[in-house]
Amino acid sequence: MSMKIVADSCCDVSPEVLERTKVKLVPLTIEVNGKRFRDDSELDIDKLISEMKKSDEAPKTACPSPQDFLDEYKGDESVFVVTISSKLSGTYKSAMLAKEIFLEEVGNKFIHVFDSFSGSIGETLISLKISELIHKGLREMEIVEKVNAYIKEMKAFFSIKSLDNLVKAGRVSHIAAKVSSVLSVRPIMTEKNGEIQLFEKVIGAKRVFKRLVEIIGEQGQNLEEKILGIAHCNCLDKALAFKEEVLKRYNFKDIVIVRTGGISTVYANEGGLVIAF
């Protein structure tokens, strides 16, 4: 039986990733300044960033409806679904509800929903892993077992250039943001148990860059068997430079670079860099 991959739009992709995975993306929506953006291939990321800068309020996001997932569950294929962490969005619940509805109305079919406990490039790497296992000819439950193990050991970190959205959301005070700006303090964030947490505070953009490279060596294992994923928010030059530094120190199986989509852009903001391995 053939198999397909479905993910929500927090799964950041490039033409190369789309070609490798054939992943079908289910869009979330973003509201800024009273304007609603559908996070699909037609979304103008630069316009979204512009609206976020002008807004006094934090962007609001909404998960896809169960019907959005039901539309992608149709067909004869076995379906693997990858969603943004259930701690960050209701998307996982929506995908699971759609599964229940589909099985009740249509009947027996293999559908498995993975909670990525991550987002952005983390979802991308999970989709690539599923695709790899499908091409190796593994059966459905073998894929589920191996992907669950992959999710459990995956590490993700990201650096934030702008604290604007966190200030607007009330998660960082205006005073703390001002001090961070004056002192050039840049937070390095991580995803732990599906939640975004502060990993480390670093002074200076160059130091952040260096620390991210060092963290790979400190946190990673068996890197030669893994893919490094890099997602950038309007900073391709930074992503390419990061890749170059990584190649000097580590021997990853592959390195994939993508631009952040709408949802990841809301979290990382312009100049943000997200890595996972």
> pLDDT class for 182, splitting at 50, 70, 90?
very low
Indicate whether 74 pLDDT > 70. Answer: yes
The pLDDT of residue 192:
86
Closest-CA residue to 239 (of 129, 139, 151, 120): 120
Residue intervals in the chain for CATH 3.30.1180.10: 156-276
Residue 249 scores a pLDDT above 90: yes
Three-state SS string across the chain, please? CCEEEEEECCCCCCHHHHHHHCCEEECCEEEECCEEEECCCCCCHHHHHHHHHHCCCCCEEECCCHHHHHHHHCCCCEEEEEECCCCCCCHHHHHHHHHHHHHHHCCCCCEEEEECCCCCHHHHHHHHHHHHHHHCCCCHHHHHHHHHHHHHHCCEEEECCCCHHHHHCCCCCHHHHHHHHHHCEEEEEEEECCEEEEEEEEECHHHHHHHHHHHHHHHCCCHHHCEEEEEECCCHHHHHHHHHHHHHHCCCCEEEEEECCHHHHHHHCCCCEEEEC
* CB 89 within 8 Å of CB 63: yes
What pLDDT score was predicted for residue 268?
86
Q: pLDDT by residue (tens digit) across 207-232?
A: 999 999 999 999 999 999 999 999 99
pLDDT digits (tens, 9 = 90+) for 76-127: 999 999 999 999 999 999 999 999 999 999 888 999 999 999 999 999 999 9
Question: Is 3.30.1180.10 the CATH classification of the domain at 156-276?
Answer: yes
pLDDT at 162: 64
CATH 3.40.50.10170 fits 3-152, yes or no: yes
Residue ranges, comma separated, of all CATH 3.40.50.10170 domains in the chain are: 3-152
Is the per-residue pLDDT at 183 higher than 90? no
Confidence of residue 173 (pLDDT cuts 50, 70, 90): low
